[in-house]
Structure 1
Amino acid sequence: MMKRRISWNKKVKPAASRTTSPKRSVKTPVRRASGLKPRIKQSNAFELQVFRLVNMERTSRGIPALTLNSTLAELARLKSTDMRDNNYFGHNSPLYGSPQQMLDRFGVEWRASAENIAAGPTTPEEVVRVWMNSTGHRANILDRRFTDTGVGYVAGNPTSEYRTYWTQLFIQRP
């Protein structure tokens, strides 16, 4: 029987200011949600639905909608896959380190960042409901500083501990 687990969030602000941070050479590609008609795989439909539901939570409270960031989506999917394939559930990856280290490793520029993860929920509605009922996850979703997000979803496999793995990354662009 597969377990269901929801993690607390980790929110970290970088200690160094932009002027003292090492210059990152790769710009984060940004894709605007308005008018977006992406060609997506069926499994990615869950990711897009989480993005939409999160933005509904934000805009219903007068908070600006997040921008769908394709790089963050790829990294979130990579993190979910990493948790499934390496049989762990946590913010610190044995392969990529902390969420902030992962962003840096892949050249994402950010001023503030956070990560929500979940394992077990089977629908986008369920994972967003679980996150919104958790103080830390809800704070990330409703944080006005964040401008961009990406969602990664993967189904479990016969050897994984959980039936689903979800990651949502948030950044504030510099």
Structure 2
Amino acid sequence: MMNLSLPKILLTLFFLGGIQMNQDAQQIQQLDPYQTELLRLVNAQRAKGCHCGSLKFLPAQPLSWNKQLEKASSIQADYLAKRKALTHKGQDGLDVRSRLSKANYRWRAYAENIAEGYKSPQEVFKAWMDSPGHCKNIMGQYREMAVVRINDYWVQDFGIPKENNM
């Protein structure tokens, strides 16, 4: 029988948490500066809470970056830039749900923000926060996000991953 004391358990959890934090830091280093800035802006707003129209959102947990969401966002941003029009319908008529599944994102819930014409992460973030629906997506109970910009087209996808046992 294993003899685990509380200090040993806490030390193990500390090191495991450090590994996860190190993996998150490595992943963020691989992002483009605009992606890092939007993730920072989103998480700063979530930490404060806010009103989205008449809905009040309390502070929420920070979102983490997800590569499968990034892939889905990239596919849609590329399609929007080529089409030169905003739509949540993708190439071949794929909806958000289908694009996320095609990118191998196993979702339990999802949302998407799109925008056109903004030159900086700060501009597009402000526009999304000024729109109750987009703001609600940013402040919602999602756990992960990604955002991709191609030319002046922005696609931000959010998700709650499906648990392995579901």
On whether the aligned pair clears a TM of 0.5, the verdict is yes
Equivalent residue pairs, number? 132
Q: Is 1:55 paired with 2:50?
A: no
Gaps of 5+ in 2: 1-19, 50-58
Match of 1:65 among 62, 70, 78: 62
Q: Name the CA distance, whole Å, in 1 between partners of 2:105 and 2:68.
A: 8
Q: Is 1:123 paired with 2:120?
A: yes
Task: Give how far 1:96 is off.
Answer: 5.5
Q: Which has the higher helix share?
A: 2
Q: Name the CA distance, whole Å, in 2 between partners of 1:143 and 1:86.
A: 29
Q: Name the CA distance, whole Å, in 1 between partners of 2:116 and 2:147.
A: 13
Secondary structure (helix, strand or coil) at the match of 2:71 reads helix
What RMSD in Å do the two structures reach over aligned CA positions?
A: 1.8
Q: Output the TM-score relative to the length of structure 2.
A: 0.73
Percent identity, aligned pairs only, is 26
> What residue in structure 1 maps to residue 149 of structure 2?
153
Gaps of 5+ in 1: 1-30, 156-163
The amino acid that maps onto 2:78 is T
Residues 52-103 of structure 1: per-residue CA shift (max 9 Å, x gap) = 1111110122200001111211221221111111232110113361111111
The 5-angstrom pairing of residues 35-50 of structure 1 reads 35-36=25-26, 37-40=28-31, 44-50=32-38
The 5-angstrom pairing of residues 130-169 of structure 1 reads 130-144=127-141, 146-155=142-151, 164-169=152-157
Alpha-carbon spacing, 1:54–1:135, altered in 2? closer, same or farther (3 Å): same
